[in-house]
Chains A and B, each alone.
Chain A
Amino acid sequence: RLRTWDSRSQVHEPVDRNFRQAFSELDRLKDKLAVGDSVIEKAAYIYRKALEKGLVRGRSISALIASALYAACRDTETPRTLKDIGQASNIKRKDIARCYRLLLRELNLKMPVVDPVKCISRIASKAGLSEKTKRKATKILQTAEEQKISAGKDPMGLAAAALYVACVTNGENKTQRDVAEAAGVTEVTIRNRYKGLKVALNL
């Protein structure tokens, strides 16, 4: 594993030391965020590209590593928010977001738009929701013909609202607060998304 790094580690230079620091940091984040090896390898690949482009000069290496990991999550459609990565790395969300935008621009990366359906599982497991409710929420988001109501909205807010609606229809006793907390959004956001969902689904 982590062959991306190993294949280049034969050159023992300052760059080498930089890579070692990057990999030990990525390995640490891997456990905290519970992401797979393929995500870490992709993050390492992106970080190496950033190094080659000289994007590290005068910048925080830790913030760049964290944003490379966020980019890898986005690219592999692994649902991890900037807030998740910020808490795991102890780097401010705003700094990771800024570095991430830099990576997109300088490395010409094109990321898929976050699919709120992919956010359902994480929220559901944190809130302890049933498989049935997860399936219901997925249908709700799909039936809501996405594009029409999701444009510009936080995917976590959309997923949280769908899960809340699914809980109500399935009679699962969870409050908006429970779902909001698990999703990392406010109850107000769930209510606002719920309004749009209600219209789109004729609830």
Chain B
Amino acid sequence: MPQTKPMVSVENVVASADVMQKMDLNDITRKFPDVEYHPDSFPGLVFRLKTPKTATLIFTSGKMVCTGSKSEELAKKAVKTVVQDLRKGGIKVKKNAVVTIQNIVASINLGGKIHLEQAARTLPRSMYEPEQFPGLIHRMVDPKTVILLFSSGKLVCTGAKHEEDVYRSVNNLHALLEEKELMIYD
């Protein structure tokens, strides 16, 4: 059975947020010189934080998208910090943001190599096209996530809404790989 417990590390969390009020992006641009706002190419304003190291997109509707956090909690903290900074800078923001986690990306190391070509033939809902990408793309149904498998035994799991989904996805896949004898331990 698994000689090694999978090493999981959350690499990026994407969260949407809403302060439920119209925002004047040009005003924010005037008061925050380090902000990026190019309405001709994209309607969102980019507000970067050093800690947590994130990038938050702010739209005129008051809706936001925060990316780059290493955990669900840090994503929420980042949005709070952005709103606080806006207020300190003189931007009126009445309500606190309602945050929703939209996607979690994690990297995993199974601790053993994977027989990719065999996996490509036996794993359902999988695609392996080394001419296009070195990893095998597997779509898991429950939880609904997508996992990229590499011959090194490392994985990337994305599409999860909760950190628990990442662990369930990895455990499901790991068990499946061992059941079908697709794992190669030293």
**Interface 0/1 of B127-152, CB less than 8 Å to A:** 11111101100000000000000110
- Bound Cα distance from A151 to B151, whole angstroms: 6
Q: Which residue of A lies closest to B151 (CB)?
A: A151
A154 touches B130 (CB 8 A): yes
B131 touches A152 (CB 8 A): no
- Bound Cα distance from A97 to B132, whole angstroms: 8
Interface residue? B116 (CB, 8 A)? yes
B131 touches A82 (CB 8 A): yes
Interface residue? A8 (CB, 8 A)? no
Q: Which residue of A lies closest to B113 (CB)?
A: A151
**Interface 0/1 of B42-81, CB less than 8 Å to A:** 0000000000000000000000000000000000000000
B132 contacts which chain A residues (CB < 8 A)?
A: 82, 97
Taking A82-B132, A101-B127 as contacts, is the C-beta distance between A152 and B150 under 8 angstroms? yes
Q: How large is the interface on B (under 10, 10 to 19, 20 to 34, 35 or more residues)?
A: 10 to 19
Q: How many residues of A contact B (CB 8 A)?
A: 17
Taking A147-B115, A151-B116, A151-B151 as contacts, is the C-beta distance between A156 and B121 under 8 angstroms? no
Say whether chain B's binding surface is mostly helix, strand, loop, or mixed.
Answer: loop
Interface residue? B117 (CB, 8 A)? yes
A114 contacts which chain B residues (CB < 8 A)?
A: 130-131
Q: Which residue of B lies closest to A94 (CB)?
A: B132
CB distance from B30 to the nearest CB of A (A): 39
Taking A152-B135, A152-B151 as contacts, is the C-beta distance between A104 and B117 under 8 angstroms? no
CB distance from B138 to the nearest CB of A (A): 12
A147 touches B117 (CB 8 A): yes
Interface residue? B120 (CB, 8 A)? yes
B127 touches A152 (CB 8 A): no
- Bound Cα distance from A114 to B120, whole angstroms: 11
Option from B120, B135, B150 in Cβ contact (under 8 Å) with A113: B120
Option from A101, A104, A153 in Cβ contact (under 8 Å) with B130: A153
A156 contacts which chain B residues (CB < 8 A)?
A: 131
Between-chain CB contacts (< 8 Å), 17 pairs: A82-B132, A101-B127, A113-B117, A113-B121, A113-B128, A113-B130, A114-B130, A114-B131, A147-B116, A147-B117, A150-B130, A151-B117, A152-B130, A152-B150, A152-B151, A154-B130, A156-B131
Residues of B within 8 A of A (CB): 115-118, 120-121, 127-132, 134-135, 150-151
A-B pairs with lowest CB-CB distance, top 8: A152-B134, A151-B151, A151-B116, A152-B151, A113-B117, A113-B120, A97-B132, A154-B131
Residues of A within 8 A of B (CB): 81-82, 97, 101, 104-105, 113-114, 146-147, 150-156
